[in-house]
Amino acid sequence: MELQTLTYLVVGASFALYIGIAIWARAGSTRDFYVAGSGVHPVANGMATAADWMSAASFISMAGMIAFMGYGGSVFLMGWTGGFVILALLLAPYLRKYGKFTVPEFIGDRYYSRGARVVAVLCLIICSVTYVIGQMKGIGVAFSRFLEVDYSTGLLVGMCIVFFYAVLGGMKGITYTQIAQYCVLIFAYTIPAIFISLNLTNNPIPQLGLGSTLAGSDTLLLDKLDQVVTELGFREYTTDVRLSGLNMFAFTLSLMIGTAGLPHVIIRFFTVPRVRDARSSAGWALLFIAILYTTAPAVAGMARLNFMQTLEPSPGEHMVYEQRPQWFKNWEVTGLLGFEDKNEDGRVQYSADPEVNEMVTVDNDIMVLANPEIARLPNWVIALVAAGGLAAALSTAAGLLLAIASSISHDLLKGMIAPGITEKQELLASRVAMAVAIAGAGYLGFNPPGFAAGTVALAFGLAASSIFPALMMGIFSPRISREGAIAGMLAGIGVTLLYVFQHQGIMFIASTSFLGEMQPNWFFGIEPNAFGAVGAVINFSVAFAVSRITAPPPARVRELVEHIRVPVGAAAAHDH
Amino acid sequence: MPQMSPERAREYWRRNLSLMLKLLIVWFVVSFGCGIILVDELNQIRLGGYKLGFWFAQQGSIYVFVLLIFYYTRRMAALDREFGVEED
């Protein structure tokens, strides 16, 4: 069957499934809407969390980034998985025990202050909106590439689908659709990886294939890769440090604590019945995530090798441009691959030296999507990858929008402006807020101010520097006062935003460069995307310092902290 | 709801923190330690076709993370039972 028809079929069928589930599981009460009635099984919740968590960045971009960064790309692998250890050990069980609907609600109660709650809502909205714009962009790109419609049409279709099932189903609908989306995306990711690993190494398990010898030879795949890239003047794949060891340390830490601080992940742990389930569902989530995250480095290494060998089958023998493969032509059309024949010999010279290099554009993001085509896999696999990419972007966008909507309707409206509203009115407000959020994120997706690339890492930096420290101190340090927490959050997020904007332009308009322009002035050589770790240190320090000179929290807050440390009695605390 | 005396509650929290601290040390050692700080030294050692430091950074640390959380879940469930604070 034609690739186009097949793609429509596979993507259409997967969407029919999601919408069907959303209608089946629609929310009847605020409990259903915010926390899916708190009755989700930990394994199911783990799977939904994994889908919620793995965004277009994980599915589409990550392997591409690792492919071109080599060892330096490990920051994403360790950062985006290691955060779940912190989440499971330090936050999830205690927040579940506390048993409210939103993250700002906990911060407001723990710091006995409406001001703290407002600041938390602000931080949450800044992080989530930053993140959701990146997802909207991903949805637009994926739709336009595979349905062959223009970018705006693709984005519009995506917005309608997200709107329909997130607004209708709330957390309950999202949880069950995300389980379906997890299945789609994990199949879509692992099947091409298995084929490619078989092709290159005869080993069907990509995680082992990456460490094996190439089919029909004694050369190890990674040794071959190191050799091929260094011959062209690139740094060795397996040891290519990202800027410096210190920068990698900061970047990994920033992604880890950002993971633990991102509100759409945290609220997932409010949906399980017991504290014990909150602990284990973090484990299940990470297990499901690890399936993709341990496959990604194999996809990355193998894609890089395939790509290099297509361009230069043997040393010194360059590909003739006129004989380029079909996938090369397809991606040239999108502008994500660009060739310029500098020496006019009709052959493609690919090199690390910009003077000689004729592959003037090689976008990281094409690697996962083009991989099945590069490896000449059957059309149904390519169609499946399209459906998987869309599932990843849609599930994360929906989770983020729910986090935004619930903090607006529950924290701002019900909690502060109009406490007297009924449950029905609160639900309506939440749905309106979500519709507005989708329209807003869609608008920014239509008019990307050139900052899609950096937004995902920035969202983590912002969460790391604002929400994570406030939650952690709230649980582990009863002495932190409301003044300390507010000052800490503002200082952390403020410094991080300032550092990023200073180096990459306000709202990134001045420069779209991923690395930024002012490397010599970087603080200890730490890149802006890695700065959340420093922001977090500032948050902790300011909060402790201010708490020392202000009045200690009242006795009832000490009791609250004691109360959340013991699992028993979570159900009682949950009733509103 | 069973009530714990303040001493028992403190003891429960102390045991919880000590387990947490041990696991966080492992978490730090496999990721930041083996994957970043000691990567060059470990790369001298081979694990199959992988350089060991590179393997920790791109595979090993993730496997250890998964095991850590499940181990923590089991140990905490046992601790909850010992102190009579487990949920039904």
> CA-CA distance, A504 to A515, in Å (whole number)?
9
> CA-CA distance, A139 to A442, in Å (whole number)?
10
Q: Is A391 in contact with A158 (CB distance < 8 Å)?
A: no
Q: Which residues of chain A have pLDDT under 70?
A: 165, 448-454, 503-521, 570-576
Q: Is A347 an 8 Å CB contact of chain B?
A: no
Can you point out the beta strands (E) in A402-559?
none
Q: A542 CA to chain B: closest CA distance, Å?
A: 24
- The CATH number that applies at residue A231 is 1.10.4160
CB nearest to A207's CB, from B16, B59, B68: B59
Considering only CB atoms, which residues of chain B are within 8 Å of chain A? 1-2, 4, 9, 12-13, 16, 20, 23-24, 27, 31-32, 35-37, 39-40, 43, 47-51, 54-55, 57-59, 61-63, 65-66, 68-70, 72-73, 76-77, 80, 85-87
Q: Which chain B residue shows the shortest CA-CA distance from A296?
A: B58
Most A CBs within 10 Å, among B66, B68, B74, to test the A interface: B66
What spatial distance separates the first Cα and last Cα of chain A, rounded to whole Å? 55
Kindly state the helix (H) or strand (E) to which residue A447 belongs, with its residue range. none
Q: A82 CA to chain B: closest CA distance, Å?
A: 6
Q: Is A139 in contact with A448 (CB distance < 8 Å)?
A: no
Q: Which chain B residue shows the shortest CA-CA distance from A294?
A: B59
Q: B70 CA to chain A: closest CA distance, Å?
A: 6
Q: A47 CA to chain B: closest CA distance, Å?
A: 14
| CB contact residues (below 8 A), chain A span 50-79, against chain B | 66, 71, 73-74, 77-78
CB nearest to A565's CB, from B13, B59, B70: B13
CB-CB neighbors (< 8 A) of B1 in chain A: 568-569, 572
For residue A464, being part of any structural domain is answered with: no
Q: Which domain holds residue A184?
A: 3-304+377-454
> CA-CA distance, A50 to A53, in Å (whole number)?
5
| CB contact residues (below 8 A), chain A span 459-478, against chain B | none
Number of domains making up chain A: 1
What spatial distance separates the first Cα and last Cα of chain B, rounded to whole Å? 11
> CA-CA distance, A407 to A108, in Å (whole number)?
12
For residue A69, being part of any structural domain is answered with: yes
Q: Which chain B residue shows the shortest CA-CA distance from A299?
A: B58
CB nearest to A81's CB, from B51, B65, B80: B65
CB-CB neighbors (< 8 A) of A293 in chain B: 62
The pLDDT, as a whole number, for residue A513 is: 44
The pLDDT, as a whole number, for residue A50 is: 94
> CA-CA distance, A151 to A162, in Å (whole number)?
17
For residue A477, being part of any structural domain is answered with: no
Judge: A71–B57 Cβ closer than 8 Å, yes or no.
Answer: yes
CB-CB neighbors (< 8 A) of B39 in chain A: 71, 239, 245
The pLDDT, as a whole number, for residue A557 is: 94
The pLDDT, as a whole number, for residue A176 is: 86
The pLDDT, as a whole number, for residue A108 is: 95
CB-CB neighbors (< 8 A) of B58 in chain A: 66, 71, 73-74, 77, 297
Q: Is A418 in contact with A426 (CB distance < 8 Å)?
A: no
Judge: A84–B69 Cβ closer than 8 Å, yes or no.
Answer: yes
CB-CB neighbors (< 8 A) of A86 in chain B: 27
For residue A298, being part of any structural domain is answered with: yes
Gyration radius from chain A CA atoms: 24
Judge: B62–A567 Cβ closer than 8 Å, yes or no.
Answer: no
Most A CBs within 10 Å, among B16, B21, B69, B74, to test the A interface: B69
For residue A381, being part of any structural domain is answered with: yes
Q: Work out the widest C-alpha separation in chain B, in whole angstroms.
A: 56
HSE (side-chain half, CA atoms, 13 Å) at A114? 7
Q: Is A217 an 8 Å CB contact of chain B?
A: no
Q: Residue A405 contacts by C-beta under 8 Å, 6 or more apart in sequence?
A: A430, A431, A433, A434, A437
Q: Which chain B residue shows the shortest CA-CA distance from A79?
A: B31
The pLDDT, as a whole number, for residue A200 is: 93
**Residue whose entry in the numeric block shows the structure tokens 């013991």:** A566
CB-CB neighbors (< 8 A) of B66 in chain A: 283, 286-287, 290
Tokens read off for A100: 């409210």
Distance of alpha carbon A101 from its chain centroid, rounded?
22
**What are residue A80's phi and psi, to 5 degrees?**
-80, -10
Most A CBs within 10 Å, among B62, B64, B67, B68, to test the A interface: B62
Burial tier of A529 (Cβ tally within 10 Å: 0-12, 13-18, 19+) = buried
The pLDDT, as a whole number, for residue A518 is: 56
Q: Is A566 an 8 Å CB contact of chain B?
A: yes
CB-CB neighbors (< 8 A) of A222 in chain B: 49-51, 54
Which letter does DSSP use for residue A215 in this model? T
Q: Is A287 in contact with A85 (CB distance < 8 Å)?
A: no
Kindly state the helix (H) or strand (E) to which residue A499 belongs, with its residue range. helix A482-504
**Which is higher by pLDDT, B18 or A24?**
B18
**What are residue A338's phi and psi, to 5 degrees?**
-140, 130
CB nearest to A294's CB, from B9, B49, B59: B59
For residue A66, being part of any structural domain is answered with: yes
> CA-CA distance, A212 to A197, in Å (whole number)?
10
For residue A327, being part of any structural domain is answered with: no
Q: Is A63 in contact with A299 (CB distance < 8 Å)?
A: yes
Kindly state the helix (H) or strand (E) to which residue A247 belongs, with its residue range. helix A245-261
DSSP-based three-state secondary structure for A314: strand
Q: B76 CA to chain A: closest CA distance, Å?
A: 8
For residue A334, being part of any structural domain is answered with: no
The pLDDT, as a whole number, for residue A460 is: 92
Tokens read off for A365: 């993001």
CB-CB neighbors (< 8 A) of A294 in chain B: 59, 62-63
HSE (side-chain half, CA atoms, 13 Å) at A467? 35
Judge: B66–A275 Cβ closer than 8 Å, yes or no.
Answer: no
Which letter does DSSP use for residue A446 in this model? H
The pLDDT, as a whole number, for residue A398 is: 85
The yes-or-no verdict on residue B33 having pLDDT over 90 is: yes
Q: A279 CA to chain B: closest CA distance, Å?
A: 6
Judge: A279–B39 Cβ closer than 8 Å, yes or no.
Answer: no
What secondary structure does DSSP assign to A332-396, as a single string?
Answer: HHHTSEEE--SS-SSEE---SSTTT--EEEE-TTHHHHHHHHHTT--HHHHHHHHHHHHHHHHHH
> CA-CA distance, A123 to A116, in Å (whole number)?
10
CB nearest to B87's CB, from A77, A213, A275: A275
Tokens read off for B34: 């083996």
**Which is higher by pLDDT, B44 or A382?**
B44
Which letter does DSSP use for residue B58 in this model? I
**Residue whose entry in the numeric block shows the structure tokens 């309506």:** A428
ipTM of predicted assembly, 2 dp: 0.96
